[in-house]
Structure 1
Amino acid sequence: MCRRKLPAERRAARVKRQAAAVVEGKGVAASVSSSGSESESEEEGGSVVDGASLLSQLEGTSTTYPSTSSIFTATSEASRKKAVPSREMKAALKVLNDSIGKPVRSGQQLTNAVNIVQREWLKVSSQKDADPHAVEDYMDAFEEFSKSLLQRVVCLADVNGNTAMHYAVSHGNFDVVSVLLDSKVCNVNQQNKAGYTATMLVSLAQIRSQTHASVVQRLFQLGDLNIKASQHGQTALMLAVSHGRLDMVQLLAAAGAEINIQDDDGSTALMCAAEHGHLAIVKFLLAQPDTDPTVMDNDGSTPLTIAVEAGHRDVGVLLYKHLNLSRGSSPYSSVRIKRSRTPTALGRSSITPPPRSSAPSSPGLSRKSSNPASPGRSRKSSASLSNLIL
Structure 2
Amino acid sequence: MADGASNNERLLAAARTDNEELLLEVFEEGKFDINYQDGLGNTALHYAASHGSLAVLEHILSHDECDVDPVNRLEKATPLHLAMRMEDEELRTSVVESLLDAGADTTIKDKHGETAFDLLRDDDTEIRQLMRKARAQNSISNADIANDDDDDEAGSGSGSGSEDED
Both proteins in one fold, TM over 0.5: yes
Asked which structure has the greater RCO (Cα within 8 Å, sep 6+), the reply is 2
Q: For residues 49-89 of structure 1, what are the alpha-carbon distances to aligned partners after superposition, in whole Å with 9 as ceiling and x for unaligned? A: xxxxxxxxxxxxxxxxxxxxxxxxxxxxxxxxxxxxxxxxx
Measured in 1, the distance between the counterparts of 2:61 and 2:104 equals: 12
Measured in 2, the distance between the counterparts of 1:170 and 1:119 equals: 15
**2:41, 2:71 within 8 Å by CA — same for their partners in 1?**
yes
Partner of 1:196: 42
Report how many residues are paired.
Answer: 133
Aligned counterparts, 1:1-390, within 5 A: 120-122=3-5, 153-155=6-8, 163-203=9-49, 204-207=51-54, 214-219=58-63, 221-243=64-86, 244=89, 245-274=92-121, 277-288=123-134, 289=136
Q: Percent identity?
A: 18
Matching residue's letter, 1:242? R
Inter-CA distance 199–171: structure 2 relative to 1 (3 Å threshold): same
Q: For residues 231-256 of structure 1, what are the alpha-carbon distances to aligned partners after superposition, in whole Å with 9 as ceiling and x for unaligned? A: 12100011112214111111111212
Inter-CA distance 266–283: structure 2 relative to 1 (3 Å threshold): same
Structure 1 residues not aligned, in runs of 5+: 1-117, 123-152, 156-162, 293-390
Please identify which structure carries the higher helix content.
Answer: 2
Inter-CA distance 214–192: structure 2 relative to 1 (3 Å threshold): closer
**2:100, 2:130 within 8 Å by CA — same for their partners in 1?**
no
Instruction: For residue 222 of structure 1, give the secondary structure of its aligned residue in structure 2.
Output: coil
**1:169, 1:205 within 8 Å by CA — same for their partners in 2?**
no
Measured in 1, the distance between the counterparts of 2:30 and 2:106 equals: 29
Inter-CA distance 270–291: structure 2 relative to 1 (3 Å threshold): farther
**2:15, 2:57 within 8 Å by CA — same for their partners in 1?**
no
Inter-CA distance 291–242: structure 2 relative to 1 (3 Å threshold): farther
Inter-CA distance 232–206: structure 2 relative to 1 (3 Å threshold): closer
Shift of 1:167: 0.8
Inter-CA distance 119–170: structure 2 relative to 1 (3 Å threshold): closer
Inter-CA distance 238–291: structure 2 relative to 1 (3 Å threshold): farther
Partner of 2:143: none
Shift of 1:190: 1.3
**1:259, 1:291 within 8 Å by CA — same for their partners in 2?**
no
**1:196, 1:229 within 8 Å by CA — same for their partners in 2?**
yes
Instruction: For residue 109 of structure 2, give the secondary structure of its aligned residue in structure 1.
Output: coil
Q: CA RMSD in A?
A: 2.5
Measured in 2, the distance between the counterparts of 1:213 and 1:224 equals: 12
| TM-score, L = length of structure 2 | 0.69
| TM-score, L = length of structure 1 | 0.31
Measured in 2, the distance between the counterparts of 1:213 and 1:165 equals: 11
Instruction: For residue 54 of structure 2, give the secondary structure of its aligned residue in structure 1.
Output: coil
Inter-CA distance 242–290: structure 2 relative to 1 (3 Å threshold): farther
Shift of 1:213: 6.4
Matching residue's letter, 2:31? V
Measured in 1, the distance between the counterparts of 2:60 and 2:54 equals: 9
